[in-house]
Structure 1
Amino acid sequence: MVKPGGSFASQKIQLLCCAKDELQNLEDTVETIKAVLLDAEKKQWHSQLVKHWLKKLKEVLYDVQDLLDDVATQDLRRKVTPGSKMSKEVRLFFSKSNQLAHGLKVGNEIEELRKKLVSIKNIGDFSLEKQDSEATLRTERRTPTFERDENIIGREKDKEEIIACLLDSSSGESVSVVSIIAIGGMGKTTLADLVYKDEKVKECFELRMWVCHGDPKNFDVDFIVKKILNSAKADPEVKKNLEDIENKSAEELQQLLRKVLDEKKYLLVLDDLWNEDRMRWLKLRPLLMGGSRGSKILITTRSLSVVEATDAKSVKYNLCGLSAEKSWDLFKKLAFGDAETSIDSGLEEIRRAIVKNCAGVPLAIKTIGSLLYTKKKTEWFNFKERELSNINDSAEGIMEVLKVSYDHLASHLKHCFAYCALFPKDYVFDKQTMIQLWMAQGFIESSEGNDDLEDTGDNYVSNLLCRSFLEVEEIDDDTGEVNTFKMHDLMHDLALKVAGDEGIRHASFLEQSSSRQKVTLLREATNLRTFISLKEGQIIPTDFPIEIISKLRCCRALGFGYEYFLIPASLGSQLKHLRFLDASNNYYIQNLPDSITDLVNLQTLKLSNCKKLTTLPRDLKKLVNLRHLLIDGCKSLSHMPCGLSHLSKLQTLNLYVVQKMDHKVPGGVGSLDELSALNRLGGSIVLKNLKFLQPVPNKGHLQEKERLRCLKLDWRMDEQDGKSDSDELILWENLRPHLNLTSLTIYSYRNRKWIGNFSALKKLDVSDCSKLTCLPDGISRLTSLKTLRIAGCPVLQERCQRECGADWEKIAHLPCSREEIIEEW
């Protein structure tokens, strides 16, 4: 401990040396204990003593992590505080963050935590074995294979029989029900999806809709109606009559549904239905009876009681497990890939015995097959004898099979998987958002000291997809990358099970949450590391208990607010651990509090569609850990602050607003020159108000940004703009992007020389460029171009007329039609 007396500087040095040693000892103790955590996590399912010990240990480890983060945050805030070294020392000495007082406090906390850890470690004598946290993940990353319908094994006959039921119009009722019934993991949703996408089904039904329910506790008719209408919006003819669904009353929604279905032959899939209350179904049924003869409702469910509550006369299809041979075929595909299977008869017997334990359930087969990919013979034998020998082939046994696969995940993947339990069943996860949330919780470990956490997180998603813990929902047509994913409902059950007591550290707040739930959350709020608002599958603000914010002192991820909620001025000083902040779609915010810039750990700041936001904090440059700044849709934003070039880790900046440099605002106006230093920027960016950009040669704002894929250049050109053609050519050269660009939108530009040889460009959109009189010859060299859209360019549109237009030959090779190219305004 620091001795009294001596100069401030000597005390500070002594204190820092002491704290550094104590911190190192604490971290060493943590690492020693972590070595047995994996074994403890496995054994807790069969021992309440181990479970209780593990819970107490994790509580202290959380406190240790918070303390270490406190120290690091204090140091980082000191580094980013403006001013001379002496003024910093004086300012911090007289602040709440006084270094000596803080150091003494930290020293005492370190000692207390170390004693707790040692005490817990000593009572944890459960013959726990040290395990390498990475030993369980030996396979290399495999790119997930996204199955074509014809490659799904063992369901061909089932598919044809369900389709026959749907196409049968012999029922006396205009709208009838077909139900697929099976235990979880059997492939009900996969089968329904195959049927839904079949060409015969598409031709038969005028309107197709898909609604996933998935909530065993709540069958809310109004909510189901809203989901049906949102699904119907996928039909272009229906969409134009379904604007602003969110703000309509229940009665208006019901009237709208009747209108949408009126005399149409429709197919409605109600996936993963749980409602066993016939009275509730009878409230929904009349709203669905307006379809023409032959309309069908296809239900997937685990329970026969659900079907009976729906309609006793419905066609019931009991989906059985895969046959032994089909199970083996599926298993081989996942366990061996394209490799040849061994002819070792003993190994063959072991493998078939493992498949038998999966009881024909596709999800179990895929999960175990992925787990055993590239394993050696001894590992196959040990897996069969030690881990599957006591598992039966009942529905409960299937969950145990999935649990075995979970036990073999690497520790960081376990954390990421369990975190998904925070979201409701059937939730569609945006991949980038989920990776940012994992980053905020410290689940993503940088490899070999690299700082590419997003790439590592993408690797995590691929691993979980490959092992069937996650399922692909949407793939980018251009890149083949996964955009969104889902979680099978059985996997969601497993995630809830393994998350266990971790749930009190992470909370989601649903729009329909009861007052009792609010009170419970407030009581537990001091330990929360995640608090986000959820509404219809998206992380957006909703009804948020304002009083909770002051208690979220351990929070790493926060998504909050009423749509008209003002961010508290004290946010930055209270939530120093925060890494992820989402205030999107807020219709009230005009300015962010200055304290936001005290959140020096912040990695992701989402302000999308905050339509009244006029300025960003002038000291935004203090957020040196910021990686993602999303401000798209902030229509009122007038300028960018100075100092963005200091944000060297920034990877996402989807809007940059150019302003005149003599525009008078506190802190000054940021220059587009600052983008030149941010070469890690990727994804998409809109450069707005380029009419204010001055022609200074050889700037090259974008040319080094290899990760940038989508670019929108928005001039909003005034008719009186005085720039010459040569000036505008300089501007274009300064804005020339890297050749990796795949999508380019040009709005309100008038110089002819506006395109280069971008061999990777796939989409080109030219809008409101009335002065453009012809396409450049270079457009024929855009060999990857698939989509061209021209709108609000009368001369250009005339020249691009099919066959007769002067520029038609330049674009005749494109796969898009004339209607897709030319859009009339």
Structure 2
Amino acid sequence: MAEAVLFTLTNDILKLAGSNIFSKIQLVRGAMDDLSRLTYTVKTIQTVLLDAEKKQWDREQVKLWLVWLKDVLYDAQDLLDDVATEDLRRKVTPHNKMSKAVCLFFPKSNQLAQPYKVAKRIQEIRNKLDWIAKDKEFRLEEHPSEKSMAIGRGKKIENFAPDSEIIGRKEDKKEIKQRLFAPFPSQRFAPSPNQSVSFVAIVGKGGLGKTALARLVYNDGEVKEHFEPKMWVCVSDVFNVNLIIKEILKSANYPDIENKPLDQLPSLLRKTLDGKKYLLVLDDLWNTDRDKWVMLGDWLRDGLQGSKILITTRNRRVAEITNAKLVIYEPRGLSNDKSWDLFRKMAFGDGVESLDPKLEEMGRDIVKKCTGVPLAIRTIGGLLYGKNKAEWLRFKVHELSQIPEIDAVDGGIMQVLQFSYDHLPSCLKHCFAYCSLFPKDYVYKKDMMIHLWMAQGFIESRNGEDNLEEVANSYLSELICRSFLEVESTIKYGNVHKVKRFKVHDLMHDLAQKVAGEFAKFNH
């Protein structure tokens, strides 16, 4: 998120430099001119940040350029903050004869002891920024400032139905339900006295829709009647037994679990599961340490005969360490027809009966490249939604060839996601990249997140009169439309379901971390 941080930083500098503080301060001759030129240079640098963001994917030189820029911008902000702080101190100091004076005087302990030092620092900072802005080695293109997105494109998904149909997974859902309802994993295995719980694993590559498929099964009416309790835990890459047990108990609605000591959690879990036919989903499992799994598995054995643990993972070995008798289900990519149905829905919206033949031809070419991977289909479809025929044709001529076939290129799904990210408006890039600051599988509260975006300066009014919360909601809707965010839960207003919480797909979180680039360096 290097560029997002710098973009916010430049905004802060421009606000400070444009305030009326400096109009009341008499600096040495030429300092105000230098301040004006510094402001102009900061604005110029802002225009190239978007281009730098795109180019830093494969150019180490650009990353270095951003690091240099960060250091100088922080120097500028420190200077302006010092001046603003001193101005505030004067205002709150009673009977200060100098409060209305136009000259600047700081105590000796302050490094800005005299006005000429302020002027000198402004000039030094401006010279450094001028050098960075004019550096031709990187040939960064200046982009016109993007206007805030129009509110309303999110109408496409204004009604977030909580149980919206997932295309092309009815047969997979049926197959998994059969395995969950079976008394034990296979007719070859008879249940042993200490083996009341059996395992089913959904294994497949990233973006294939494993979690969505598990969610379909989890919310199925027959599954709800068959298992009690049902619990869902997102595990991801941090396998901490006590924390996982705590999340299981939370999902089982155990009261006041936050205040329970960690050493009591295993026994509470055993009591919760004892004598019950439960279903536990462990989503996005990565642990390959058998010993760690045994520690957790020992506390999950007390369910009634027929209890099931459903695992989703990209790694077959991860599934195999959980139990020697598990059943592995490997869903395939969507069929050509179902892939087209999903792409058509994402790229053209619901209710479109006929398409332009040329647009359909291009769309089907894109679908072939996506090789049935739902996340890739949704992402590219969201990219093209709302674009006119001329834009589609331009996309075909100049950019379609850049999309790799996922099965033919190592990491192809990430390249597709990167491609779609590069086409986001800069305001959406900043909001999405901000998600990298949170852990994988984090559930974001919508209201909290949009206020964080607003505090970072990511939400922009087109005319100074727009309600920023409404603009932020339109950003959120747009990111959901483009599959960068996923709805986790909704709240109903009349007949309309609106987002209450959302999540970031684990691959999208990987992307957010990648585009964050040198962010760690910006905190040091």
* Structure 1 residues 185-214: Cα deviation after superposition (integer angstroms, max 9, x where no partner): 111111111111111011001211111111
* Structure 1 residues 377-413: Cα deviation after superposition (integer angstroms, max 9, x where no partner): 3322333443342423136111111111111112222
Q: How far 1:316 sits from its partner (Å)?
A: 0.6
Does the C-alpha gap of structure 1 residues 87 and 358 become closer, same or farther in structure 2, counting only changes over 3 Å?
same
Match of 2:165 in 1: 151
Query: CA–CA distance in 2 between the matches of 1:347 and 1:157?
Result: 30
Query: CA–CA distance in 1 between the matches of 2:161 and 2:114?
Result: 57
Q: How far 1:255 sits from its partner (Å)?
A: 1.1
- TM-score, normalised via structure 2 length: 0.84
Match of 2:422 in 1: 407
Question: Contact 1:278–1:310 at 8 Å: present in 2 too?
Answer: yes
Does the C-alpha gap of structure 1 residues 105 and 272 become closer, same or farther in structure 2, counting only changes over 3 Å?
farther
**Paired amino acid for 1:495:** A
Match of 1:591 in 2: none
Q: How far 1:85 sits from its partner (Å)?
A: 7.6
RMSD, matched Cα = 3.1
1:198 aligns with 2:220: yes
Match of 2:501 in 1: 484
1:464 aligns with 2:479: yes
Counterpart among 166, 178, 197 of residue 175 in structure 1: 197
Counterpart among 384, 405, 408 of residue 392 in structure 1: 405
Does the C-alpha gap of structure 1 residues 78 and 356 become closer, same or farther in structure 2, counting only changes over 3 Å?
farther
The SS at the match of 1:316 is strand
Q: How far 1:432 sits from its partner (Å)?
A: 2.5
**Paired amino acid for 2:262:** S
Question: Contact 2:72–2:125 at 8 Å: present in 1 too?
Answer: yes
Query: CA–CA distance in 1 between the matches of 2:114 and 2:469?
Result: 34
Counterpart among 297, 301, 313 of residue 289 in structure 1: 301
Question: Contact 1:15–1:100 at 8 Å: present in 2 too?
Answer: no
Does the C-alpha gap of structure 1 residues 200 and 106 become closer, same or farther in structure 2, counting only changes over 3 Å?
farther
Does the C-alpha gap of structure 1 residues 253 and 405 become closer, same or farther in structure 2, counting only changes over 3 Å?
same
Q: How far 1:488 sits from its partner (Å)?
A: 0.7
The SS at the match of 2:457 is coil
**Paired amino acid for 1:161:** E
Does the C-alpha gap of structure 1 residues 504 and 85 become closer, same or farther in structure 2, counting only changes over 3 Å?
same
Question: Contact 1:422–1:503 at 8 Å: present in 2 too?
Answer: no
Does the C-alpha gap of structure 1 residues 73 and 162 become closer, same or farther in structure 2, counting only changes over 3 Å?
farther
Query: CA–CA distance in 1 between the matches of 2:480 and 2:462?
Result: 20
Question: Contact 2:334–2:372 at 8 Å: present in 1 too?
Answer: yes
Higher relative contact order (CA 8 A, sep 6+): 2
Query: CA–CA distance in 1 between the matches of 2:87 and 2:372?
Result: 57
**Paired amino acid for 1:212:** C
Query: CA–CA distance in 2 between the matches of 1:430 and 1:70?
Result: 36
**Paired amino acid for 1:243:** D
Q: How far 1:254 sits from its partner (Å)?
A: 1.1
Q: How far 1:140 sits from its partner (Å)?
A: 4.8
The SS at the match of 2:387 is coil
Counterpart among 162, 173, 179 of residue 165 in structure 1: 179
Unaligned runs of 5+ in 1: 1-9, 234-238, 507-523, 525-825
Q: How far 1:141 sits from its partner (Å)?
A: 2.8
The SS at the match of 2:230 is strand
Question: Contact 1:474–1:485 at 8 Å: present in 2 too?
Answer: yes
Question: Contact 1:136–1:408 at 8 Å: present in 2 too?
Answer: no
Query: CA–CA distance in 1 between the matches of 2:114 and 2:456?
Result: 25
Question: Contact 1:139–1:373 at 8 Å: present in 2 too?
Answer: no
Query: CA–CA distance in 2 between the matches of 1:484 and 1:65?
Result: 35
The SS at the match of 2:463 is helix
1:435 aligns with 2:447: no
* Structure 1 residues 677-714: Cα deviation after superposition (integer angstroms, max 9, x where no partner): xxxxxxxxxxxxxxxxxxxxxxxxxxxxxxxxxxxxxx
Question: Contact 1:41–1:54 at 8 Å: present in 2 too?
Answer: no
Match of 1:49 in 2: 61
Match of 1:704 in 2: none
**Paired amino acid for 1:226:** K
1:228 aligns with 2:245: no
The SS at the match of 2:183 is coil
Question: Contact 1:388–1:401 at 8 Å: present in 2 too?
Answer: no
The SS at the match of 1:476 is strand
1:207 aligns with 2:237: no
Query: CA–CA distance in 1 between the matches of 2:343 and 2:251?
Result: 34
Note the 1:228-267 alignment, pairs <5 A: 228-233=248-253, 239=254, 242-250=255-263, 252-267=264-279
1:113 aligns with 2:125: yes
Query: CA–CA distance in 1 between the matches of 2:114 and 2:260?
Result: 51
Question: Contact 1:19–1:103 at 8 Å: present in 2 too?
Answer: no
Question: Contact 2:90–2:96 at 8 Å: present in 1 too?
Answer: no
Does the C-alpha gap of structure 1 residues 11 and 101 become closer, same or farther in structure 2, counting only changes over 3 Å?
farther
* Structure 1 residues 145-190: Cα deviation after superposition (integer angstroms, max 9, x where no partner): 5245352211111111111111111442411001111111111111
**Paired amino acid for 2:500:** N
* Structure 1 residues 702-741: Cα deviation after superposition (integer angstroms, max 9, x where no partner): xxxxxxxxxxxxxxxxxxxxxxxxxxxxxxxxxxxxxxxx
Note the 1:397-796 alignment, pairs <5 A: 397-450=412-465, 452-478=467-493, 480-505=497-522, 524=524
1:368 aligns with 2:380: yes
Q: How far 1:285 sits from its partner (Å)?
A: 1.1
Query: CA–CA distance in 2 between the matches of 1:262 and 1:157?
Result: 33
Q: How far 1:317 sits from its partner (Å)?
A: 0.8
Q: How far 1:86 sits from its partner (Å)?
A: 4.3
Match of 1:356 in 2: 368
Match of 2:315 in 1: 303
Query: CA–CA distance in 1 between the matches of 2:30 and 2:398?
Result: 48
Match of 2:10 in 1: none
The SS at the match of 1:449 is coil
Query: CA–CA distance in 1 between the matches of 2:152 and 2:24?
Result: 48
Question: Contact 1:406–1:414 at 8 Å: present in 2 too?
Answer: yes
Q: Percent identity?
A: 55
Q: How far 1:444 sits from its partner (Å)?
A: 2.5
Question: Contact 1:180–1:316 at 8 Å: present in 2 too?
Answer: yes
Query: CA–CA distance in 2 between the matches of 1:504 and 1:483?
Result: 33
Query: CA–CA distance in 2 between the matches of 1:73 and 1:322?
Result: 60
Query: CA–CA distance in 1 between the matches of 2:364 and 2:285?
Result: 34
**Paired amino acid for 2:516:** A
**Paired amino acid for 1:157:** E
Query: CA–CA distance in 1 between the matches of 2:29 and 2:341?
Result: 63
Query: CA–CA distance in 2 between the matches of 1:267 and 1:102?
Result: 71
Does the C-alpha gap of structure 1 residues 254 and 100 become closer, same or farther in structure 2, counting only changes over 3 Å?
closer
Aligned residue pairs, count: 487
**Paired amino acid for 1:491:** M
Q: How far 1:447 sits from its partner (Å)?
A: 3.1
Q: How far 1:13 sits from its partner (Å)?
A: 5.0
Query: CA–CA distance in 2 between the matches of 1:51 and 1:191?
Result: 39
* Structure 1 residues 596-629: Cα deviation after superposition (integer angstroms, max 9, x where no partner): xxxxxxxxxxxxxxxxxxxxxxxxxxxxxxxxxx
Q: How far 1:67 sits from its partner (Å)?
A: 4.3
Query: CA–CA distance in 2 between the matches of 1:309 and 1:127?
Result: 52
The SS at the match of 2:206 is coil
Question: Contact 1:180–1:188 at 8 Å: present in 2 too?
Answer: yes
Query: CA–CA distance in 2 between the matches of 1:359 and 1:66?
Result: 51
Task: Indicate the structure with greater helix content.
Answer: 2
Query: CA–CA distance in 2 between the matches of 1:119 and 1:499?
Result: 25
Question: Contact 2:180–2:200 at 8 Å: present in 1 too?
Answer: yes
Unaligned runs of 5+ in 2: 1-21, 186-190
Larger radius of gyration: 1
Q: How far 1:312 sits from its partner (Å)?
A: 2.9
Match of 1:184 in 2: 206
Counterpart among 269, 277, 280 of residue 292 in structure 2: 280
1:23 aligns with 2:35: yes
1:219 aligns with 2:230: no
The SS at the match of 2:217 is helix
Does the C-alpha gap of structure 1 residues 72 and 291 become closer, same or farther in structure 2, counting only changes over 3 Å?
same
Match of 1:719 in 2: none
